[in-house]
A and B are shown apart, each in its own frame.
Chain A
Amino acid sequence: MPGLGGRMSTVIKSKISRMLDRAEDPGETLDYGYQKQVELLQNVKKGIADVVTSKKRLQMQSSKLEQNIVKLDTQARQALSQGREDLARVALERKTLAQTELQSLDTQVRELEAQQEALTANEQKLRQKIEQFRTKKEVIKAQYSAAEAQVRISEAANGVGEEMADLGLAIQRAEDKTETMRARASAVEELEKAGTFDDLSQLGAGQDDIDRQLQELTSGSQVDDELSKMKAELGQGGGDAPALEQGEEKA
């Protein structure tokens, strides 16, 4: 079968078929088949554990971004209260970038969470099927002739093999997803290393590459809005911003 049928013939599935072809004695095939299934189930569990680990790492990164957002907001306020609107603007631009990243990261982590739940449920189901196989093999051993047993056990083992391959595919997809997310998260980390979220007092007067990139990335209007809001809160009028509409003036 072309298409997904072909893709489903994964390593796991072919492993089971190969090992079934090998043994002559059905009884031996059955026991070996069961033993192999139990071993492969361990791989499946490990795959799910890997997905969970990656997810936790991304969640940590997400909370770090949250801290950065708070920090940048505070710095913008400080800069503004010292009359450094230029620095406040830079801080807010960076905050906007961090917020955008955080939103997309959070969405993806939530999706991953759903996938993880499905994987765990399917792993439970696979375990039941393997248990079923164990029961079935005893019946087949006792009731059928060698030739017939071979056919029946192939059917059952292929059923389990398909289940296992399907779960393997689902784990693979989840891993691919965390990989993409991690690539994106480490891009943010690079920005962090490059000093993007560093203390603003360390910033030179001139614009560096990062600043220019940031200005391209972030929408000016959002930053403008936030600047005027902040000004209002700090009780600074002036400029062309409608700053005092909502805030209370300082006494």
Chain B
Amino acid sequence: MIVRVSGEGQFRLPDEDADRLNELDNRAVAAVEQGDETGFRELWSQMLELVASDGNALDDEELVESDVILPPRDVTFAEATGEFTGDGLIPD
């Protein structure tokens, strides 16, 4: 699957990572709903780590849409409140 980190470009991740990412995404939504910024920060950095460790940056010549678009690395908690809602970034 193709994941974009906003402002940093696209990455190709193995499809198996979708479940892991979705799980983190759902937990991030829960953290945001509870106003738990520390918890959110922790989950958010785990999501970024997953992309960094498993993902390969897409070549500039590939013109494809992403399956998932993650917010910018420096997303604020206030911004996250608007993004990580409902089903999260990845619909269940």
Where the two chains meet, the residues of A that have a C-beta atom closer than 8 Å to any C-beta of B are: 1-5, 7-8, 118, 122, 125, 128-129, 132-133, 136, 155-160, 162, 166, 169-170, 173
The smallest beta-carbon distance between B58 and chain A, in angstroms, is: 9
- Check B87 for interface membership: any CB of A closer than 8 A: yes
Complex Cα gap A8–B6 (Å): 10
20 A-B pairs in the complex with CB atoms less than 8 angstroms apart: A1-B69, A1-B90, A2-B91, A3-B89, A4-B6, A4-B69, A4-B70, A5-B68, A5-B89, A7-B83, A118-B7, A125-B60, A129-B63, A155-B65, A157-B63, A159-B62, A159-B65, A166-B69, A169-B6, A169-B7
The smallest beta-carbon distance between B51 and chain A, in angstroms, is: 14
Complex Cα gap A42–B88 (Å): 33
- B84 with A3: CB separation less than 8 A: yes
- Check B85 for interface membership: any CB of A closer than 8 A: yes
Interface of A is mostly: helix
The smallest beta-carbon distance between B28 and chain A, in angstroms, is: 10
Complex Cα gap A173–B72 (Å): 10
- Residues 55-82 of B, flagged 1 when their CB comes within 8 A of A and 0 if not, give 0000011111110111110000000001
Output the nearest chain B residue to A13 by Cβ-Cβ distance: B65
Output the nearest chain B residue to A169 by Cβ-Cβ distance: B6
Complex Cα gap A3–B90 (Å): 8
Q: How many residues belonging to B are interface residues under a CB distance threshold of 8 Å?
A: 26
Q: Residues of B contacting A5 with CB < 8 Å?
A: 68-69, 89
The smallest beta-carbon distance between A147 and chain B, in angstroms, is: 19
- Check B86 for interface membership: any CB of A closer than 8 A: yes
Q: Residues of A contacting B70 with CB < 8 Å?
A: 4
Complex Cα gap A3–B29 (Å): 10
Given A1-B91, A2-B85, 19 more A-B residue pairs with CB atoms under 8 Å apart are A1-B69, A2-B87, A3-B84, A3-B86, A3-B87, A4-B83, A7-B83, A118-B7, A125-B60, A128-B61, A129-B63, A132-B60, A133-B63, A156-B63, A162-B65, A162-B69, A166-B4, A166-B7, A170-B72
Q: Residues of A contacting B7 with CB < 8 Å?
A: 118, 122, 166, 169-170
Contacts A4-B70, A166-B6, A170-B72: A159 and B86 contacting too (C-beta < 8 A)? no
Q: Residues of A contacting B69 with CB < 8 Å?
A: 1, 4-5, 8, 162, 166
- Check B35 for interface membership: any CB of A closer than 8 A: no
- A3 with B88: CB separation less than 8 A: yes
Output the nearest chain A residue to B70 by Cβ-Cβ distance: A4
Complex Cα gap A26–B71 (Å): 33
The smallest beta-carbon distance between B60 and chain A, in angstroms, is: 5
- B72 with A1: CB separation less than 8 A: no
Complex Cα gap A39–B86 (Å): 36
- A3 with B83: CB separation less than 8 A: yes
Q: Residues of A contacting B64 with CB < 8 Å?
A: 155-156, 159
Contacts A166-B6, A166-B7, A173-B72: A2 and B88 contacting too (C-beta < 8 A)? yes
